[in-house]
């Protein structure tokens, strides 16, 4: 019997049909040649595998890593996203082990040379959820393993302009349905984070429009805040860059790319959250 509800990639309760549609719209929305992918590939060449991706989505990072010859495991809370990732892996003729799990509470039977959290996924976590996620990451790293966290750096000038105006972001043809889809977005921000509303309007054959709307909150992570958080959670900073080209992180950098290593117990007092 099919389940009547599902958790979509936004973390909201959905119908299975909406979960599937949102996963397909995600692939329509994003770039599969994003420079983040090559950054993670370069990092994986240095660490080797096995590799664990949290919030694997449709496999934008995991599949290229598997194509490079690494053993990759990906977790996601959306069953539909995992099915998309499986399809994308199969098209690329690679194997990615996919697990339906929550990045705040996952428990796997092995340790990893590299754990990745890509594309601002870490920002979807609340303050308490970040502690829970980092505790799980720490327990799943090898002694010499690395945790890579990819987030954007908040820009006060941009924050001040996000007052809820609705804009059309794109209009594209969905290759799955051959229908035209238009994406609209609206954002409201303060110093702590940004609330994003998305609307996807799909034009139907009868001239009608089917709309799927979602809202999510991204909780900002500032540089100093991140440094303190990761240290208190039991990690040492291996490197911090401000873009995928490897530039030093400055106050004007678009990204904060943290690469962290697990601090051995006893090396420094760690904060424990239970």
- Half-sphere exposure at residue 238, Cβ-oriented, CA atoms within 13 angstroms: 19
Provide the pLDDT for residue 62: 98
How far CA 44 is from CA of 38, 77, 136, 146, 233, in Å, comes to 10, 24, 20, 10, 23
Cβ neighbour number for residue 268 with a 10 Å cutoff: 11
Question: How do the residues of the chain divide into helix, strand and coil, expressed in percent and rounded to 5?
Answer: 30, 35, 35
Closest CA to 184 of 165, 209, 207: 165
Cβ neighbour number for residue 78 with a 10 Å cutoff: 26
To which residue do tokens 């092995």 refer? 110
Provide the pLDDT for residue 266: 61
DSSP structural state of residue 243? S
**Domain 156-219 architecture:** Single Sheet (2.20)
Strands in 209-219's sheet, in edge-to-edge order, are 163-173, 180-189, 193-203, 209-219
CB-CB contact of 46 with 148 (8 Å)? no
- What are the extents of the domains in the chain? 31-153+221-262, 156-219
To which residue do tokens 């499986």 refer? 86
One digit per residue, the tens of pLDDT, for the chain of length 274 reads 556 688 887 888 788 888 899 999 999 999 888 999 999 999 999 999 999 999 999 999 999 999 999 999 999 999 999 999 999 999 999 999 999 999 999 999 999 999 999 999 999 999 999 999 999 999 999 999 999 999 999 998 888 788 889 999 999 999 999 999 999 999 999 999 999 999 999 999 999 999 999 999 999 999 999 999 999 999 999 999 999 999 999 999 999 999 999 998 765 544 444 4
Provide the pLDDT for residue 84: 96
Provide the pLDDT for residue 2: 57
Cβ neighbour number for residue 132 with a 10 Å cutoff: 17
* Rounded Cα gap, residues 109 and 77, in angstroms: 18
Q: What is the signed CA dihedral for 114, 119, 121, 127, rounded to 10 degrees?
A: 90
**Domain 31-153+221-262 architecture:** 3-Layer(aba) Sandwich (3.40)
Provide the pLDDT for residue 52: 98
């Amino acid at each position: 019997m099919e389940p009547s509800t599902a958790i979509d990639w936004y973390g909201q309760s959905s119908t299975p049909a909406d979960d599937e549609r949102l996963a397909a719209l995600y692939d329509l929305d994003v770039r599969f040649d994003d420079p983040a992918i090559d950054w993670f590939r370069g990092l994986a060449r240095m660490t080797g595998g096995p590799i664990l991706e949290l919030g694997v989505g449709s496999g934008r990072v995991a599949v290229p890593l598997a194509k490079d010859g690494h053993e990759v495991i990906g977790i996601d809370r959306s069953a539909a996203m995992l099915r998309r990732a499986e399809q994308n892996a199969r098209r690329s003729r690679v194997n990615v082990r996919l697990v339906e799990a929550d990045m705040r509470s996952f428990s796997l039977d092995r340790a990893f040379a590299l754990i990745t959290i890509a594309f601002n996924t870490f920002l979807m976590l609340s303050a308490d959820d970040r502690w829970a996620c980092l505790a799980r990451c720490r327990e799943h790293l090898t002694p010499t393993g690395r945790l890579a966290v990819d987030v954007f750096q908040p820009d006060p000038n941009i924050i001040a302009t996000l007052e809820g105006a609705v804009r059309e972001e794109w209009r594209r043809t969905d290759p799955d349905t051959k229908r035209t889809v238009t994406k609209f977005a609206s954002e409201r921000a303060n110093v702590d984070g940004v609330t994003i509303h998305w609307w996807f309007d799909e034009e139907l054959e009868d001239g009608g429009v089917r709309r799927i709307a979602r809202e999510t909150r991204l909780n900002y992570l500032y540089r100093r805040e991140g440094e303190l958080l990761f240290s208190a959670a039991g990690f040492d900073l291996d490197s911090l860059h401000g873009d995928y080209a490897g530039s030093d992180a400055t106050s004007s950098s678009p990204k904060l790319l943290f690469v962290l290593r697990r601090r051995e117990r006893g090396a420094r007092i760690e904060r424990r959250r239970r």
